[in-house]
Amino acid sequence: MAQTVRHHPTQSHPAAGGLVAFAAVMLVVAGILGILRGIMAIAEDDVFVSTPDYVFEFDLTGWGWVHLIAGAVAVLVGMSLFKAKLWARVVAVAIAGLLIIANFLSLPYYPLWSVIVITMYGFVIWALCVVRQDTD
């Protein structure tokens, strides 16, 4: 006689820890890259392009400070994800969403990199939202 195995929603799924760890690493890496991008923009590096007549036109130094501060927050939140707390996941999703918006608004200054980082933050949000079991 075959025995059936029932999955209970209260049990921890083995991939849940892996997805949270993936999101934490991606958030820390993207945050560090955001810090470096901010430093480049503050130093007014020649890597950035200037697009005339863009609707969301801002000063490059201002964008540098935005990316520097947001990158630092992303690194701190990413590090807190390793503790597997619910509040860290919520804050990480929020900061990743805000960073997607910031990178969208800075598309004309560094388009290819903005698209790459938007994708990275999208994976962070996905990884944190598909985890069903809270590990608090």
* pTM as predicted: 0.75
Q: Identify how many contiguous H helices and E strands the chain contains and give both numbers.
A: 4, 0
Percent of the chain with pLDDT over 70: 74
Q: What is the pLDDT of residues 9-34, one digit of tens each?
A: 445 544 447 888 889 999 999 999 98
Output the CA torsion sign for 64, 65, 68, 74.
negative
What percent of the chain is helix, strand and coil (3-state, nearest 5)?
A: 70, 0, 30
Q: What is the pLDDT of residues 58-95, one digit of tens each?
A: 677 777 888 899 999 999 999 998 887 888 899 999 99
Residue 13: what pLDDT?
47
